[in-house]
Chain A
Amino acid sequence: DQQVKQNSPSLSVQEGRISILNCDYTNSMFDYFLWYKKYPAEGPTFLISISSIKDKNEDGRFTVFLNKSAKHLSLHIVPSQPGDSAVYFCAASVGSSNTGKLIFGQGTTLQVKP
């Protein structure tokens, strides 16, 4: 049972344009969501997170939107840069305490073309 789903395995955008990565979840108990960036043979790197009490969180070029009623979140990267090319994972947890385990989506491979 895949509780966190990233239905697009890959995405290709032109440099300077907006990248939108989507993520859906099924467990209504999830209340904290995170996005990670991962290069091959490396551990994931934290990008941005959002609590369920918010619907938007912004950090520089990265913005995460949360639609609780639709159980959907998205990561917007604007403007996209070639260095953003990587695999992006969304993750969800129950509780934002530091013992909350993460459930990951399948990942979306983003390619930003120069």
Chain B
Amino acid sequence: GAVVSQHPSWVICKSGTSVKIECRSLDFQATTMFWYRQFPKQSLMLMATSNEGSKATYEQGVEKDKFLINHASLTLSTLTVTSAHPEDSSFYICSAPVWLAGGNEQFFGPGTRLTVL
């Protein structure tokens, strides 16, 4: 199947700093990628849709100035958490949809664990 990678797999940072997370589609091109966040024992919450060559679309309640998304190429989307605070500590996961026979399937990256001290 299609492979999606994320880097880094985990990061610890100080409050007030910015952190960049990369999401790459390794063997296919993705004009669209999705960013999710998962808090412990909760569901995956869609944060935003990353669109190659255009602005990202953010879900209600997600601050676009805090979570900067750049989809500069067909294989790379980046999420930058700006001025991170402890409440931003979470598990961030990206996904990319792939059209297979029968419908759309999304392949997920392994996730990035962010801890803000």
- How far apart sit A114 and B111, CA to CA, in the bound complex (Å)? 30
Interfacial chain A residues near B107, Cβ < 8 Å: 46
Q: Which listed residue (B45, B105, B108) contacts A43, Cβ 8 A?
A: B108
**Contact at B103–A89, with CB atoms within 8 Å?**
no
**Contact at A104–B44, with CB atoms within 8 Å?**
yes
Given A49-B102, A99-B97, also A43-B46 (CB < 8 A): no
**Contact at A98–B104, with CB atoms within 8 Å?**
yes
What secondary structure prevails in chain A residues at the interface with B?
loop
Minimum Cβ distance to chain A for residue B34 (Å): 6
- How far apart sit A105 and B44, CA to CA, in the bound complex (Å)? 8
- Chain B's closest residue to A44 (CB) is B108
What secondary structure prevails in chain B residues at the interface with A?
strand
Interface residues of B toward A: which range? 20 to 34
**Contact at A51–B102, with CB atoms within 8 Å?**
yes
Interface residues of A toward B: which range? 20 to 34
**Contact at A43–B93, with CB atoms within 8 Å?**
yes
Given A41-B91, A44-B93, also A102-B106 (CB < 8 A): yes
Show 27 residue pairs from A and B whose CB-CB distance is below 8 angstroms, ordered by the A residue: A34-B105, A34-B106, A36-B108, A41-B113, A43-B95, A44-B44, A46-B1, A46-B105, A49-B102, A51-B103, A89-B43, A96-B102, A96-B103, A98-B32, A99-B104, A100-B97, A101-B46, A101-B49, A102-B46, A102-B95, A102-B106, A103-B46, A104-B43, A104-B45, A104-B46, A105-B43, A106-B42
